[in-house]
């Protein structure tokens, strides 16, 4: 004979699977996730759009800057001093602050955007940095540069190892770091670069242009041509005044170089055309509404007449509620898992075919997104079950849960001008925090950007965000259990 | 000039299918004024469906149902023509009985005083302001009856009005139905238990498998069912049953020491028992109850019937 | 018809549910509007906000309670079986549905007027303190101003049409949880799905066809050229949805057994 709790569970499972509408609903929820992924894939056509450079780790990157360079074969070094780095902000190039405007030395595997590089640079707001391969960043001397307080920079290649040094006087040098650029060919492009990323203004960004003054340019070792060429790497900027695409001018041994762009990992605001896994999974929304309806019906239909039967047929009412939650959670989790597991590869494939770039994700992130989305659906369904028990009214319960989960998301994800405080609060405190489980884009400290939920960046860590929703579900379920025990059926 | 109206309800040749199931299969009968017409049959025989068809709630594939000679849907203030109590038309639990009747009254262009009258009439006055959600089943039935009386209709149709009523309520209901008929109204009362209608109904429409299998007066029905039956009291039920069955009778046990014999005259029964020396204490002509008559009629028409272990004949 | 409307009105006023939902709709609308105008700032001329529209943001919240009310008016009766009493009392089914629609229209229009004017008042009182001043190009909000009047009247009509859409859907679907899900899906999915559609033509089309995105265009008072759809045309699209839902509901109500 089966133990009592298992019998209750079995009874609830039988109840669920024998209502055809509910089974259809669960399957429909999974299908919606897949269908929207397909819709997103086929409705987009970016086959003519410029290619997005891809870094060595497969990540989408920004690689556009002004490059004063010459080929350098074999081991060698390059030294320069920087005495000024000024930034102008579009449209009138008024002086402004762009903390990650950068100017310095770079050794790069050719001028193709996305190729490997190592660089040492001064920045507007973060002192001297050594960076390589887009995502890596090491701090050197702090403080800004000026004529009174210039910085000397040196970059040395030895095999595939590149070491960056900084100095305040050109005499005493400190090694900032040594990095290895695997597979760097014998001849690399070496020289000066200037880049200035878009400045964040309110909910959006505006282009900026940096001007740096270099002096004391020397090369050592290696075979160089001693003929410097000024080139722009990456696409010409759009919307800038034409003169700001980049330039180099020499006078009195000083090189004045202007440039715009960035050498950094791409983020959502800098690459609006690229999609994320969360975009592919937008079908989560119709699926959510469907499972919320199911969760509500699973209890409110009982109130029509059956609850007397159900409650009379089993000893503990809380046990019935728990059994319902387990069955509902299990079924919706499974549906979510199936839907997401199919939708992601399918959506990715279709998006790529349409020429849409997706921010790549690691297998572990992908696993988290799949499990997280399934858990999000299951928990929302259980929340609806609990609210349905408390309200006993279907329409009210469905609306409450839908509004609690969807409306905050709509406000933060659809309206870019909502102030950050509000967005932050909405995505920390409301059940919509759980959408963090779908976040696949990563914020980088070396890229100043709009890291808001609107752009796919949530204030809470993925599972912490999920925990907020889970908290609502657990509290509601507990309240429902108490109410159910006290109330006359 | 007003068209001549047929009083009461005339149901003619109703047919209706739900997928493969034939819910109504040529249902025809008439409900006449000043009589209580019992509408009986096993559950699922089509009683509620027929009533819903009469009220225009369900459509039919064939046939007509007319109240006072007109289709229900053409009535401007239908509750002034037909008052009805439907099993499944529950009022909103959060509304008071009085307010439930009030919206119904307003839908018929009737005013509030009429509501208080019918509440008084069914004896709900003390509870009229309370939410219907807290009502007992019996109170709900009274509320339903108040709703049926609201338009002072010449026709009253009640679906299983005895459901959930205590013995006192049942008694009240019977008297009440009689009084409606005495006022000249045509009354149609459905029930799946014939016993409830005994002593109340003047006329019976017995239904089975979607059609009327009898449309007759109560007295005639009982007479038909009593014909050719012998009640026998004996201490040797098995012996008597075996013997009489072998002689061609249909035997049914009706108690620990009583059986009913059909197909043999009382004299023949006595002769047979004496020949074989089977003891018996009483042989009499059987007087059928309405229930018996009903069971006899519906025997072939019952779709889902539990196997009757009481049957003794072999 | 008059008697049927009278009956529906009696139904609405004699249970507590609708009363609370209607008060809730007012509270939700005014509360969200107040919250939104309290956090917005405008520190320069032409900061790009539509002050009227901001003040009316709460309609997006208030409509949820209107949806519940409208769905309950029909689905609630299906849930208890009372629909049979209603249809027995008013056997002409189109009349029965029309009576519900008329009653809802009246009730929601009255409540919507309070909610929308309350929101506008909140904007009028709060926005000047947040930098929305005449100096920045924002005169004090007034319903006497042409575009603001359109937005005000339009928002009230929007709520009425949402109620009618919900009533129509509930008449088709009958079950209240499913009806609510369908209505909320219709309203909220277009804004959620649109950004996924990368093709700008389809995206614009979706915004034009979505009952909420098109209907709320009536709240716009500035940059009308940039809207996917004109204010009245947008409301017309929503009216089309509501009309189609009611028509489908009426046809099914006539055909189906109760």
Q: Per-residue DSSP letters for A137-173?
A: EEE-S-S---SSS-EEEEEEEETTEEEEEEESSSSS-
Highest mean pLDDT among B60-64, B172-176, C128-132: B60-64
Q: Which of A265, A76, A257 is nearest to A155 (CA)?
A: A76
Per-residue pLDDT reduced to its tens digit, B41-53: 888 889 999 999 9
* Residue B144 near chain C (CB below 8 Å): no
Token pair for A74: 């074999």
DSSP labels for C92-132?
-HHHHHHHHHHHHHHHHHHHHHHHHHHHHHHHHHHGGGGT-
Q: What is the pLDDT of residue B311?
A: 38
* Residue A270 near chain C (CB below 8 Å): no
The torsion angles phi and psi of A219, rounded to 5 degrees, stand at: -120, 150
The answer to whether the beta carbons of residues B104 and B150 sit under 8 Å apart is yes
* Residue B80 near chain C (CB below 8 Å): no
Task: Give me the torsion for CA of C97, C102, C105, C108, rounded to 10°.
Answer: -90
The answer to whether the beta carbons of residues A232 and A181 sit under 8 Å apart is no
The answer to whether the beta carbons of residues A193 and A259 sit under 8 Å apart is yes
Q: Chains that contact A by 3+ CB pairs under 8 Å?
A: C
Q: How far apart are CA A105 and CA A160, in angstroms?
A: 17
Q: How far apart are CA C132 and CA B162, in angstroms?
A: 70
Q: How far apart are CA C29 and CA C219, in angstroms?
A: 14
C15 contacts B91? CB cut-off 8 A: no
Q: How far apart are CA A488 and CA B58, in angstroms?
A: 35
Q: Does residue C23 have a pLDDT over 90? A: yes
Per-residue pLDDT reduced to its tens digit, A52-83: 888 887 888 889 999 999 999 889 999 999 99
Question: Residue written as tokens 């493969």?
Answer: B20
Nearest CB neighbour to C14, from listed B58, B95, B109: B95
Q: Chains that contact C by 3+ CB pairs under 8 Å?
A: A, B
Best of B14, B17, B81, B89 to disrupt the C interface (most C CBs within 10 Å) is B89
Nearest CB neighbour to A44, from listed C48, C49, C198: C198
Instruction: Indicate the helix (H) or strand (E) that contains A414.
Output: helix A394-414
* Residue B129 near chain C (CB below 8 Å): no
Q: Considering only CB atoms, which chain B residues are within 8 Å of C86? A: 107
B78 contacts C15? CB cut-off 8 A: no
Decide which of A308 and B246 is more confident: B246
Q: Does residue C242 have a pLDDT over 90? A: yes
> Which residue does chain B place closest to C88, by CA atoms?
B55
Nearest CB neighbour to C61, from listed A290, A407, A414: A407
Size of interface A-C (CB pairs under 8 A): 119
Highest mean pLDDT among A346-355, B150-159, B290-299, C129-138: B150-159
Q: What is the pLDDT of residue A450?
A: 78
Q: Is B185 exposed, middle or buried (0-12, 13-18, 19+ CB in 10 A)?
A: buried
Q: Considering only CB atoms, which chain B residues are within 8 Å of C14? A: 95-96, 99-100, 102-103
3-state secondary structure of B6: coil
> Which residue does chain B place closest to C9, by CA atoms?
B103
Q: Does residue A309 have a pLDDT over 70? A: no
Q: Considering only CB atoms, which chain A residues are within 8 Å of C202? A: 43
Best of B91, B106, B115 to disrupt the C interface (most C CBs within 10 Å) is B106
Q: Is B11 exposed, middle or buried (0-12, 13-18, 19+ CB in 10 A)?
A: buried
CA of C253 to nearest chain B CA: how many angstroms apart?
10
Enumerate the β-bridge partners of residue A67: A193, A231
Q: How far apart are CA A78 and CA A219, in angstroms?
A: 4
> Which residue does chain C place closest to B99, by CA atoms?
C14
DSSP labels for B157-176?
EEESTTTT--HHHHHHHHHH
Q: Considering only CB atoms, which chain A residues are within 8 Å of C39? A: 418-419, 421-422
* Residue A297 near chain C (CB below 8 Å): yes
Q: Considering only CB atoms, which chain C residues are within 8 Å of A36? A: 193, 196
Taking any CB pair shorter than 8 Å as contact, residues of chain C touching chain A are 17, 36, 39-41, 48-49, 60-61, 64-65, 67-68, 71-72, 75-76, 79, 175-181, 184-185, 188-189, 191-193, 195-199, 202
> Which residue does chain B place closest to C253, by CA atoms?
B57
Sign (positive or negative) of CA dihedral A354, A355, A357, A361? positive
Highest mean pLDDT among A210-224, B79-93, B262-276, C240-254: C240-254
Per-residue pLDDT reduced to its tens digit, C24-64: 999 999 999 998 888 888 777 667 788 888 899 999 989 99
3-state secondary structure of B273: helix
Q: How far apart are CA A72 and CA A153, in angstroms?
A: 17
Enumerate the β-bridge partners of residue A123: A102
Q: How far apart are CA A470 and CA C41, in angstroms?
A: 34
A403 contacts C61? CB cut-off 8 A: yes
Q: For the beta carbon of residue C9, count every other beta carbon within 10 angstroms.
A: 17
Q: Considering only CB atoms, which chain B residues are within 8 Å of C4? A: 107
Token pair for C38: 């309290």
Helix axes A317-353, A462-486, angle to 10 degrees: 150
Per-residue pLDDT reduced to its tens digit, A17-30: 888 889 999 999 99
> Which residue does chain C place closest to A276, by CA atoms?
C196
A419 contacts C193? CB cut-off 8 A: no
3-state secondary structure of A233: strand
Helix axes B97-107, B112-122, angle to 10 degrees: 130
Interface ipTM: 0.88
Nearest CB neighbour to C10, from listed B57, B77, B102: B102
* Residue B306 near chain C (CB below 8 Å): no
Question: Residue written as tokens 């209750």?
Answer: A8
Sheet containing strand B211-217, strands side by side: B82-85, B155-159, B186-191, B36-40, B203-208, B211-217
Nearest CB neighbour to B94, from listed C3, C16, C86: C16
The mean pLDDT value of chain A amounts to 86
> Which residue does chain C place closest to A287, by CA atoms?
C185
Token pair for A71: 């080929």
Size of interface B-C (CB pairs under 8 A): 92
Per-residue pLDDT reduced to its tens digit, C111-123: 999 999 999 999 9
A395 contacts C67? CB cut-off 8 A: yes
CA of B159 to nearest chain C CA: how many angstroms apart?
13
Sign (positive or negative) of CA dihedral B222, B223, B228, B233? positive
The answer to whether the beta carbons of residues B91 and B111 sit under 8 Å apart is no
A417 contacts C49? CB cut-off 8 A: yes
Best of C4, C5, C10 to disrupt the B interface (most B CBs within 10 Å) is C10
Q: Does residue A343 have a pLDDT over 70? A: yes
Q: Does residue C7 have a pLDDT over 70? A: yes
Output the CA angle A215-A218-A221, nearest 5 degrees. 170
Q: Which of C40, C38, C57 is nearest to C49 (CA)?
A: C40
The mean pLDDT value of chain C amounts to 90
* % residues pLDDT > 70 (chain C): 99
Decide which of C27 and C17 is more confident: C27
Per-residue pLDDT reduced to its tens digit, A128-181: 999 998 989 999 999 889 999 999 999 999 989 999 999 999 899 999 999 999
> Which residue does chain C place closest to B100, by CA atoms?
C11
Whether a cis peptide bond, with omega within 30° of 0, leads into C50 is no
Q: For the beta carbon of residue A186, count every other beta carbon within 10 angstroms.
A: 10
Per-residue pLDDT reduced to its tens digit, A361-418: 888 899 999 999 999 999 999 999 999 999 888 888 999 999 898 888 887 876 767 7
Alpha helices in chain C (DSSP H): 2-13, 16-39, 51-55, 59-71, 77-80, 82-89, 93-126, 146-173, 176-193, 200-209, 211-215, 231-255
Mean pLDDT (whole number) for C130-150: 83
The answer to whether the beta carbons of residues B263 and B245 sit under 8 Å apart is no
C15 contacts B94? CB cut-off 8 A: yes
The torsion angles phi and psi of A23, rounded to 5 degrees, stand at: -65, -45
| Residue B214: pLDDT band with limits 50, 70, 90 | confident
Q: Does residue C207 have a pLDDT over 90? A: no
Q: Is C137 exposed, middle or buried (0-12, 13-18, 19+ CB in 10 A)?
A: middle
Q: How far apart are CA A93 and CA C69, in angstroms?
A: 55
Per-residue pLDDT reduced to its tens digit, B277-288: 888 888 877 766
* Residue A286 near chain C (CB below 8 Å): yes
Mean pLDDT (whole number) for A209-219: 91
Best of C47, C196, C210 to disrupt the A interface (most A CBs within 10 Å) is C196
Token pair for A276: 């994320």
Q: Which of C21, C22, C32, C24 is nearest to C122 (CA)?
A: C32
CA of C248 to nearest chain A CA: how many angstroms apart?
21
Q: Considering only CB atoms, which chain C residues are within 8 Å of B102? A: 10, 14
Decide which of A227 and A48 is more confident: A227
3-state secondary structure of A63: strand
Token pair for C140: 């004090």
Q: How far apart are CA B295 and CA B206, in angstroms?
A: 10
C6 contacts B89? CB cut-off 8 A: no
Token pair for B242: 């075996």
Q: What is the pLDDT of residue B303?
A: 43
Q: What is the pLDDT of residue A416?
A: 67
C82 contacts B107? CB cut-off 8 A: no
Nearest CB neighbour to A399, from listed C48, C67, C175: C67
A414 contacts C196? CB cut-off 8 A: no
Measuring CA to CA, how many Å separate B138 from each of A372, B160, B174, B192, B197?
Answer: 52, 12, 14, 18, 18
Strands B21-31 and B282-285: unpaired
Give the global pTM. 0.84
């Amino acid at each position: 004979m089966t133990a009592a709790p298992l019998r209750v569970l079995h009874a609830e499972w039988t109840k669920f699977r024998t209502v055809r509408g509910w089974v259809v609903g669960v399957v429909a929820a999974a299908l919606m996730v897949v269908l929207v992924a397909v819709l997103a894939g086929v409705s987009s056509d970016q086959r003519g759009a410029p290619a997005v450079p891809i870094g060595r780790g497969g990540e989408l990157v920004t690689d556009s800057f002004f490059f004063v360079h010459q080929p350098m074969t074999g081991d060698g070094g390059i030294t320069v001093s920087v005495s000024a780095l000024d930034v102008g902000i579009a449209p009138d190039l008024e002086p402004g602050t762009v903390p990650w405007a950068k100017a310095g030395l770079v050794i790069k595997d050719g001028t193709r955007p996305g190729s490997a590089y190592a660089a040492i640079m001064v920045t507007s707001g973060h002192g001297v940095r050594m960076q390589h391969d887009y995502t890596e960043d090491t701090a050197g001397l702090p403080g800004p540069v000026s004529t009174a307080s210039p910085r000397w920079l040196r970059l040395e290649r030895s095999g595939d190892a590149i070491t960056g040094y900084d100095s305040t006087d050109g005499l005493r040098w400190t090694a900032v770091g040594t990095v290895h650029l695997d597979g760097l060919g014998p001849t690399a492009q070496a020289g000066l670069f200037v880049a200035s990323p878009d400045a964040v203004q309110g909910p959006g960004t505006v282009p900026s242009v940096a001007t740096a003054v270099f002096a004391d340019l020397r090369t050592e070792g290696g075979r160089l041509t001693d003929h410097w060429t000024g080139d722009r790497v990456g696409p010409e900027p759009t919307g800038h005044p034409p003169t700001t695409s980049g330039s180099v001018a020499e006078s009195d041994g000083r090189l004045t170089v202007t440039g715009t762009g960035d050498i950094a990992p791409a983020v959502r605001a800098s690459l609006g055309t690229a999609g994320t896994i969360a975009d592919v999974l937008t079908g989560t929304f119709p699926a959510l509404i469907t499972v919320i309806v199911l969760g509500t019906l699973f209890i409110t239909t009982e109130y029509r007449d059956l609850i007397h039967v159900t409650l009379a047929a089993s000893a503990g009412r809380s046990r019935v509620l728990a059994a319902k939650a387990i069955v509902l959670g299990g079924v919706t989790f499974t549906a979510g898992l199936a839907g997401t597991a199919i939708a992601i590869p399918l959506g990715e494939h279709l998006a790529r075919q349409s020429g849409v770039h997706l921010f790549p994700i690691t297998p572990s992130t992908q696993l988290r997104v799949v499990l997280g989305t399934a858990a999000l659906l299951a928990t929302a369904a259980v929340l609806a079950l609990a609210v349905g028990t408390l309200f006993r009214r279907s329409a009210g319960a469905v609306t409450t849960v839908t509004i609690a989960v969807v409306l905050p998301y709509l406000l933060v994800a659809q309206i870019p001008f909502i102030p950050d405080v509000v967005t932050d609060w909405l995505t920390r405190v409301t059940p919509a925090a759980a959408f963090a489980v779908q976040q696949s884009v990563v914020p980088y400290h070396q890229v100043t950007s709009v890291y808001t939920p609107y752009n796919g960046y949530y204030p809470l860590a993925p599972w912490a965000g999920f925990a907020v929703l889970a908290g609502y579900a657990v509290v509601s379920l507990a309240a429902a259990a108490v109410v159910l025990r006290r109330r006359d059926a | 000039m007003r068209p001549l109206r047929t009083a009461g309800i005339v149901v003619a040749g109703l047919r209706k299918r739900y997928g493969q199931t034939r819910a109504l299969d040529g249902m025809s009968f008439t409900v006449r004024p000043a009589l209580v017409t019992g509408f009986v049959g096993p559950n699922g025989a089509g009683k509620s469906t027929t009533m819903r068809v009469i009220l225009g709630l369900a459509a039919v594939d064939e046939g007509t149902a007319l109240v006072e000679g007109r289709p229900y849907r053409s009535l401007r203030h239908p509750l002034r023509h037909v008052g009805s109590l439907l099993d499944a038309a529950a009022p909103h639990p959060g509304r008071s009985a009085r307010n439930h009747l009030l919206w119904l009254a307003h839908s018929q262009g009737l005013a509030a005083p009429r509501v208080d009258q019918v509440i008084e009439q069914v004896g709900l006055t003390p509870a009229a302001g309370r939410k219907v959600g807290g009502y007992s089943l019996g109170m709900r039935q009274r509320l339903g009856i108040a709703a049926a009386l609201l338009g002072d209709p010449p026709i009253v149709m009640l679906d299983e009005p005895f459901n959930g009523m205590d013995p006192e309520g049942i008694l009240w209901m019977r008297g009440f139905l009689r009084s409606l008929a005495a006022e000249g109204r045509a009354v149609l009362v459905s029930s799946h238990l014939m016993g409830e209608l005994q002593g109340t109904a003047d006329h019976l429409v017995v239904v089975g498998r979607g059609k009327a299998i009898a449309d007759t007066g109560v007295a005639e029905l009982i007479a038909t069912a009593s014909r050719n039956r012998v009640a026998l009291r004996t201490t040797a039920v098995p012996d008597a049953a075996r013997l009489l069955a072998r002689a061609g009778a249909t035997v049914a046990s009706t108690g620990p020491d009583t059986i009913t014999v059909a197909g043999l005259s009382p004299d023949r029964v006595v002769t047979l028992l004496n020949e074989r020396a089977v003891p018996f204490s009483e042989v009499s002509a059987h007087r059928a109850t309405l229930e018996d008559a009903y069971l006899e009629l519906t025997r072939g028409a019952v779709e889902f019937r539990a196997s009757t272990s009481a049957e003794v004949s072999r | 018809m008059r008697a049927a409307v009278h009956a529906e009105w009696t139904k609405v006023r004699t249970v507590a549910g609708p009363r609370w939902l209607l008060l809730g709709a007012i509270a939700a609308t005014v509360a969200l509007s107040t919250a939104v105008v309290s956090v917005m700032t405008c520190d320069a001329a032409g900061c790009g906000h539509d002050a009227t529209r901001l003040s009316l943001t709460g309609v997006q919240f208030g409509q949820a309670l209107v949806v519940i009310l409208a769905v309950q008016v029909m689905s609630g009766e299906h849930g208890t079986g009372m629909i049979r009493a209603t249809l027995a009392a008013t056997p002409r089914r189109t009349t029965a549905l029309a009576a519900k629609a008329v009653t809802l229209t009246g009730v929601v229009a009255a409540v919507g007027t309070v909610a929308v004017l309350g929101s506008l008042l909140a904007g009028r009182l709060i926005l000047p303190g947040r930098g929305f001043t005449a100096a920045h190009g924002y005169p004090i909000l007034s319903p006497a101003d042409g575009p603001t009047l359109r937005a005000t009247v339009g928002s009230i009509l929007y709520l009425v049409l949402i109620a009618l859409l919900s009533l129509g859907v509930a008449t088709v679907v009958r079950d209240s949880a499913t009806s609510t899900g369908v209505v909320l899906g219709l309203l909220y999915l277009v804004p959620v799905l649109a950004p996924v559609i990368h093709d700008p033509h389809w995206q614009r089309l979706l915004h034009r066809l979505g009952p909420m995105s098109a209907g709320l265009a009536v709240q716009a008072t500035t940059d009308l050229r940039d809207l996917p759809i004109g204010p009245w045309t947008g409301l017309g699209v929503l009216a089309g949805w509501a009309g189609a839902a009611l028509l489908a509901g009426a046809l099914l109500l006539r055909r189906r057994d109760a």
